[in-house]
Amino acid sequence: MQHSVLQIPVQESLFVKDPTSSTVGKSILEHGLILLSEIGLEDFTFKKLAAKISSTESTIYRYFENKHQFLSYLFNFYWAWMDVNISFATTNIDDPKERLRRIIGLITKKVSNDLRTPFIDEALLQDVIALESSKTFLSKKVDEENQAGYFLQYKKLVDRISAVIIEINSGYPYPNALVTTILESSFHQRYFGNHLPRLTNEMHIDKRLEEFLLDLCLKTIA
């Protein structure tokens, strides 16, 4: 009895060799994510990861150019996975407001491991992306990486959510800005709730975060 497997496609520019195509590759993904969540991007090195999976640096370099590319891979994976979930949760719902409600629910909710993706633990992934995702685009290499398609999946999701906003109010002039504001804020507010509580208002509680962003969003586009 095998449960279904969810294929999350990731851009070719985000790896040297597709990590899902081999056992070592999958191990790099799985334990790379765990190591990242444990020590953070700064202290993360391919050498440490190689030791963890009993492999070598050179092998890991055959899959990813460097740790930044590895992070970008996870970033895209996360948003592609989120896109699938959002897509699933909003099909056949006619009312765009209800769709928006569900989207914000999904974005603000703490996720748990999705067993359909064997080597990625989404609960860990969410924490890692919340902490590190800004670092994917806040770099002097943005333009180059943008050219290479590093942010396509994120853009795609932003477009999808913007379309819902436009459905609710076709005259609202800043749909994309509103969406990215909410997405970034979702990560930051939860993070502040856990580490810098004076910068927020009890946002470690999922429901409050959801209410804050839904309220903000609906009022803004009303």
Partner DNA sequence: TCAAATTGATAGTAATACTATTATATTTGT
Partner DNA sequence: ACAAATATAATAGTATTACTATCAATTTGA
Interface residues with DNA (CB under 7 A)? Answer: 17, 22-25, 43, 45-48, 54-59, 61-62, 65-68
Residue 102 binding: pick among DNA, a copy of itself, none (C-beta 5-8 Å cut-off by kind)? none
Question: Does 117 sit near a copy of itself (CB under 8 A)?
Answer: no
Cα distance between residue 11 and residue 175, in whole Å = 26
Question: Does 98 sit near a copy of itself (CB under 8 A)?
Answer: no
Q: Which is nearer to a copy of itself, 3 or 219 (CB)?
A: 219
Cβ 99 to DNA shortest distance, Å: 41
Best CA proximity match to 183, nearest among 99, 108, 125: 108
Structure tokens at 65: 């150019």
Residue with structure tokens 């993070």? Answer: 191
Question: Does 195 sit near a copy of itself (CB under 8 A)?
Answer: yes
Q: 136-163: b or e for each residue (b if 16 or more CB lie within 10 Å)? A: beeeeeeeebeebebbbbbeebbeebbe
Number of chain positions touching a copy of itself (CB under 8 A):
48
Give the CB-side neighbour count of residue 117, counting CA atoms within 13 A: 23
Residue 196 binding: pick among DNA, a copy of itself, none (C-beta 5-8 Å cut-off by kind)? a copy of itself
